[in-house]
A and B are shown apart, each in its own frame.
Chain A
Amino acid sequence: NAGVMQNPRHLVRRRGQEARLRCSPMKGHSHVYWYRQLPEEGLKFMVYLQKENIIDESGMPKERFSAEFPKEGPSILRIQQVVRGDSAAYFCASSPRGQPNEKLFFGSGTQLSVL
């Protein structure tokens, strides 16, 4: 009965490198959400994906950020050419059907540190 699994827990990158964050939703869940928490702030919505589809990416920065949720395998949040301002905790959440009022189950997050 594994929950939402995120890896790595901690990721250190130098400016200009790429960061890949992985999220495996709960078993039976086909809807994935990515949120970002900057220091001293709340969680900010980034993107909502269903298998092989991006449903809502209104919270994603226009450049350098991309997300996917392939038919097989985990959801990936990819940040190219990272900058110090990308340092944050990135949380993934999943839900079974993406229905309104379904509660989201969150992973433990990936703490990204950009040197």
Chain B
Amino acid sequence: LAKTTQPISMDSYEGQEVNITCSHNNIATNDYITWYQQFPSQGPRFIIQGYKTKVTNEVASLFIPADRKSSTLSLPRVSLSDTAVYYCLVGDISNQGGKLIFGQGTELSVKP
């Protein structure tokens, strides 16, 4: 199973774009890259998922280079409410008995 490495914490200010990079050097061919967001005292919430190149939805963008050994979650113009822990997950859930494998995540703090 691919191990992920991401920064433990990041600080930003309201209105800025935030990019959180995740390294996953031993990603397998069938693995997808998924990002979850977790607010204090709540369960994680799915943000975005991708396999390669770029994926964009109403919340974020996910950039994946051709070698797929890293990925970057981009949050445009963050607000105070984006303060949360962001988890990068890599795997083929259909081959993992439904198991999502979470690392320690990146604690994002957005300041006014």
Q: Do A and B come from one complex?
A: no
